């Protein structure tokens, strides 16, 4: 009964999000305003969705990303990461073109203001970096998952530095963000229950999501750290330092 209630509620929220996003985007006067209303509406609906799905988000030092125009880099475990981060701060997420082509998820990401990149095609990287730089200079907070994929939460994969060049081009801060699932149904996050929230490898979205809506309570901790100056340091240093900071918080919290 609980799962059926959750499924009905989530279906309703999806409909509200899609209809609201399409209406807002239709009346936006240009592409910048279209993205602005998209990320605002996505943030509103993520807060609502988190409350409905029992996702409790604790945000430490969220004031560090007050205002706009920063690049946030974060470790990555699930699509739930996006719900949690967006519920705290409206943001533009960087995702792959593979996600854009994924049935339903790609559509949701597109109307939510996501910017898609081809991570594996070096010939397109200059144009995509210009796109990221332009979005930051337009005043958006941009979220990048530099691991390039999601994990089961047991490790943090090496960060890729290529897309951090957008911060250097824009001359803005890079803010490391550590995201940690602390408890699932009041049990400490571990290898035994991580698959209830972590979406990685070849997991299908629909089967995973159907399992996740049975989870009554998920606790997520997000720590925003001090910004790294992209004018004082090159992207390789920033990439390495951001990973060190995120790992120090993530594994200490474990």
2-253: what fold?
Glycerol-3-phosphate (1)-acyltransferase (3.40.1130)
Domain segments of the chain: what residues?
2-253
Query: Which residues, in sequence order, are CB contacts of 126 under 8 Å at separation 6+?
Result: none
Q: Which tokens sit at 78?
A: 């699930």
Handedness of CA 76, 78, 81, 82 (dihedral sign): positive
Decide the pairing of beta strands 187-188 and 173-184. antiparallel
Q: What is the pLDDT tens value at each position of the chain, 254 positions in all? A: 888 889 999 999 999 999 999 999 999 989 999 999 999 999 999 999 999 999 999 998 877 777 778 899 999 999 999 999 999 999 999 988 888 888 888 899 999 999 998 766 655 666 777 888 889 889 899 999 999 899 999 999 999 888 777 777 777 888 999 999 999 999 999 999 999 999 999 999 999 999 999 999 999 999 999 888 877 778 888 899 999 999 999 998 55
């Amino acid at each position: 009964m609980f799962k059926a209630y959750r499924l009905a509620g989530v279906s309703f929220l999806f409909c509200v999000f899609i209809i609201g996003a399409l209406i807002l985007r239709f009346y936006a006067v240009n592409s910048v305003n279209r993205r602005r209303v998209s990320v605002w509406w996505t943030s509103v609906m993520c807060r609502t969705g988190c409350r409905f799905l029992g996702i409790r988000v604790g945000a430490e030092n969220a004031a560090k990303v007050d205002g706009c125009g920063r690049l946030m880099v974060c470790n990555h475990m699930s699509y739930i990461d996006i719900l949690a981060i967006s519920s705290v701060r409206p943001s533009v997420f960087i995702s792959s073109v593979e996600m854009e082509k994924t049935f339903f998820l790609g559509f949701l990401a597109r109307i939510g203001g996501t910017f898609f990149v081809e991570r594996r095609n070096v010939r397109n990287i200059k144009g995509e970096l210009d796109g990221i730089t332009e979005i930051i200079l337009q005043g958006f907070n941009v979220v990048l998952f530099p691991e390039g994929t999601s994990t089961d939460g047991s490790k943090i994969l090496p960060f890729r530095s290529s897309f951090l060049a957008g911060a250097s081009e824009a001359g803005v801060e890079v803010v490391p963000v550590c995201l940690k699932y602390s408890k699932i149904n009041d049990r400490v996050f571990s290898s035994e229950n991580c698959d209830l929230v972590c979406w990685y490898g070849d997991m299908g979205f629909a089967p995973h999501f159907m399992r996740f809506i049975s989870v009554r309570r998920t606790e997520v901790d997000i720590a925003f750290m001090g910004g790294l100056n992209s004018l004082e340091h090159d992207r390789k240093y920033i990439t390495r330092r951001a990973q060190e900071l995120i790992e120090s918080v993530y594994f200490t919290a474990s």
